[in-house]
Structures are given as C-alpha cells and as structure tokens.
Amino acid sequence: MTATRTRLVLGNWKMHGNLADNAKLLSALLAAPPSASSTHMGVCVPFPYLAQVAQALKGSSFAWGAQDLSVQAQGAFTGEVSGAMLADFSCRFVLVGHSERRAMHAESDQLVADKAHAALTAGITPVVCVGESLAERDAGQAVAVIARQLAPVLALGAEAVKKMVVAYEPVWAIGTGRTASPEQAQEVHAAIRAALKGIGAEHVQILYGGSVKAANAASLFAMPDIDGALVGGASLVAEDFLAIAA
C-alpha cells in the first residue's frame, strides 16, 4: 500500500441487528482507542438503523453508510431508497453491486454502474463490489469476469472513478469460511489496479472481502494492492472488527 492510499476497513452488517444489539456493538466500538491515523473504519448498516448509527457515531472517527440505493432520485418506486435519503443521514459510503444483490436481485453490471453514479450525485462514496464465482475461478476466468463487471463503471470516467472505492469479493469466499490466499487476492487486486491506472485512477482504494478475520487480515494487508477490507460477519463482533483494523 502506497503512502497516497490510506487503509480502509468497512463492516457490512448485511441483514443483521436490532436496536439493543446495535447499541451494544456501537458502544464497544466507541470505547476502543482510535485506530491508527492511517486506518479509517466504518460500518454499512440496514436502512432502518441509519438514524441510530448516525446518532451514535456522530463526532467519532467512525464513518457509516448503507448497503444499497436506487438509481432513481424520487418517485413511485415502492421499497426503494434514494441517494438523497441516505445523504439525510450523513452517509459517507454506500455499497453497490454486492454479489448478494447481483445474484438475488439480478443486478446487471450496468445497473451497478448507474447506482455508483447515483451515489456520487448524492455526494456519497460508492463502494463498487466485484467478484467471481467458484466455477468462474476454476475456469480461469476470474480476471476476465472482474474486467467485465468494472467496464461500465470505468466508462463513467476518471473523475468519477477517483471518488469511488472498489471491493473485490470472490463469491466463493463470502460467508463460507474459505478465503482467497493473499497471493490469489493480490493477483486480482493488481489486475483491478492496472484497469484503474488505464483511466488515470490508480490511487483508488481497493478492498478485499470474503471471510476476513483477525487471523488473516495482516497477511492480506501486506499485499501491495490490498488497501483494506470489507468485513462481513466479523464486523458484528466489536473485538474481531477492531482486531482486523489493528
């Protein structure tokens, strides 16, 4: 990781939490000593808890955000949440294109790029998630799949992409306990970095996600193109989440 890129560790709560458990988790995070100045931390939480999290973390070193947004600004779109609504809660980040959204809601590569654009329009940093399935990796297609997923995002242009974060999450390593080796992860991160450099946005942070734990974080972060992590289950346990960032 170069001196121009700080480390970022984001927690993705997915569909977990309730008011009481959230309060305990947030209190434990806030009670910990601040992370190193070179490491930034944040949590991406379910929509109903944005007010709670924003109130709890306001004025702290922790950022917060959402897990999805609509491409629409407003209107008759029942169940959707706009970027402007997220901005009302001072969201700094929003995940777009998480593999669970792509798989369960048939989100296309172009839709993910459109969501990233909508986030930027609202003044929020999109965390663009990309990743291959096990079948695609076994077929030697991992880098090609990532390139396809990134293509419409990169087409938004360097100035837009420079305001984003990219998260590489191999689908086969999410919630399975399996983790890409540091070398496997670095290979894909290097390919993403090369694609970003191709449009003049090589300093964008690239996070690794997929069963990240305190036990493997250090070896992953030692890779030159891994700038942090998008953490799932371990972000629900304050001690584990803080240990990853440390």
Q: Are 231 and 221 within 8 A, CB to CB? A: no
Token match 């890129």: residue? 5
Task: Name beta bridge partners: 230.
Answer: 10, 209
Helical residues (DSSP H) of the chain, grouped into ranges: 19-31, 50-57, 83-88, 99-104, 109-121, 134-138, 142-154, 158-161, 182-198, 214-221, 238-245
CA 75 to chain centre: 27
Per-residue b/e over 202-211, b at no fewer than 16 CB within 10 Å? bebbbbbbbb
Give the whole-angstrom CA distance, residue 46 versus residue 50.
7
Residue type, 242: L
Residues involved in catalysis? 98, 169
124, 197, 244, 169 alpha-carbon torsion, rounded to 10°: 80
Other beta carbons less than 10 A from residue 110's beta carbon: 12
SS3 (DSSP) at 58:
coil
Give the whole-angstrom CA distance, residue 109 versus residue 28.
37
